[in-house]
Amino acid sequence: MTNQTPEQYFSPYSQIIPDFSAFCRKLSNPLPVHLRFNTLKATVNQTRLRLERRGLNLLPEKSVSIVFRAKNLTQPGHLIEFSLGHLHSQALSSVMSGLALGPKPGDVVLDLCAAPGGKTSLLAQLMENRGLIVANDRYPNRLIPLHSNLKRLGVTNTVTLCYPGQHFPKRLRFDRILVDVPCSAEGTLRGAANSNIRQPYQSGNKLPGLQRDLLLRAFDLLEPGGTLLYSTCTYNPDENESVVQSLLENRQAKVQPISLDLPHSPGLEQWKEITYDATIQQCWRIYPHQLDTVGFFLARVARES
């Protein structure tokens, strides 16, 4: 596909993205480097002091005490603290998906599409390595980086499985489930020096069907009173609000508000000829000109007792 300007590439969304011109301008900037400090291995203050003593310029992110922006760092994987498992390089919006799910120590949790393990390890951190996490990924080769990251970050409450997520065994039940689905990844697209962007791959029309199947299966695996968090790193309503709408039409599901204090836009009221359930406005759309990170969509959904 030929390179396109942000205005050209994202023109189908010009009416739904607030301040579309500012959004497009922001895409010419590179993604910031965010570090999640891993409190399973060291305290936030211990890790911060170690890095600042070596000259790193760290800026704390508002309302997310474990995440810092590293302003003069391009290769976090070269840090000794990375190898020691004291930190993980992770987009702020990716961290928000785990925080929005909010697992507690002692919960039984499923990460349905877990590899390479950044979000799984965050769930373990929030659970203080207590309870149980089942980290699933359908591709055996993706379990290699998953296992590596979990070991490096000191995660001990997690087992891994290898099922297609939409066929995960129904005999198991979970208190909380993270459903971070494969998506078109539009939120990761940021321009190079020429401000052009290139589509990473052709997704066709298969993704929304897979996403609906994954979300339905995840909901069926919830304990009564349980909660799931559906997330993508894309802006396409067909992969976001429309997938959640399909769940509401097929199951006794309830969209819940997300209790985080960070800039975002609400879920859409409608897209093309589709009018969504009013509760979908409680979903979050994260745009890089509002919060400088990967573009994301978050939906917190409860299974009523």
3-state SS assignment for residue 254: strand
Sign of CA dihedral 13, 91, 93, 166: positive
Tokens 């919060």 belong to 291
For residue 11, the 8-state DSSP code is G
Choose the catalytic residue: 24, 113, 183, 233: 233
The span from the first CA to the last CA of the chain, in angstroms, equals: 48
Dist. CA 92–CA 294, nearest whole Å: 7
Please give the single-letter amino acid code of residue 74: T
Instruction: Examine the residue annotation and report whether 24 is marked as an active-site residue of this protein.
Output: no
Dist. CA 230–CA 227, nearest whole Å: 10
Report the alpha-carbon angle 237-239-125, nearest 5: 115
Helices (H), the chain: 6-9, 20-26, 44-53, 80-84, 92-101, 118-126, 143-152, 206-220, 241-250
CB atoms under 10 Å from CB of 202, counted, come to 7
64-101 burial by CB neighbour count: b if 16+ within 10 A, else e? bebbbbbeebeebeebebbebbbbbbbbbbbbbbbbbb
Please give the single-letter amino acid code of residue 22: A
**Cis ω before 18 (30° cut-off from 0):** no
How many residues are present in the chain? Answer: 305
The residues annotated as belonging to the active site are 233
